[in-house]
């Protein structure tokens, strides 16, 4: 089982045609041995104590604390 970790960023401003981004969370994609997505969870800075998932977390998914 593998986990892909993606950073979540939010556009915080623009100056002289340049965009500025703030890191606001992490997106975890857990896959099974065949590469199929088994679950997705999100940790977001605005919702620190809320576990957000696209698919229910399975018992054998790695802990993403």
Task: Specify if 25 maps to a domain.
Answer: yes
Task: Specify if 19 maps to a domain.
Answer: yes
pLDDT at residue number 32:
84
Task: Specify if 24 maps to a domain.
Answer: yes
Task: Specify if 64 maps to a domain.
Answer: no
| Separation of alpha carbons 65 and 43, rounded Å | 9
pLDDT at residue number 58:
65
pLDDT at residue number 33:
85
pLDDT at residue number 64:
60
Q: How would you write the pLDDT of the chain (65 residues) with one tens digit per residue?
A: 688 899 999 999 999 999 999 999 998 888 888 888 888 888 888 888 887 777 666 676 666 65
Task: Specify if 8 maps to a domain.
Answer: yes
Task: Specify if 26 maps to a domain.
Answer: yes
Range of the domain at 8: 2-55
How many domains does the chain contain in total?
A: 1
Category of 16 on φ-ψ map: left (φ > 0), alpha (ψ -120 to 50) or beta: left
Task: Specify if 17 maps to a domain.
Answer: yes
């Amino acid at each position: 089982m593998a986990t892909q970790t993606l950073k979540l960023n939010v556009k915080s401003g623009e100056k002289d045609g340049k965009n500025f981004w703030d890191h606001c969370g992490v997106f975890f994609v857990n896959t099974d041995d065949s590469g199929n997505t088994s679950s997705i969870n999100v940790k977001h800075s605005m919702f620190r104590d809320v576990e957000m998932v696209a698919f229910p977390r399975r018992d054998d998914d790695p802990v993403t604390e």
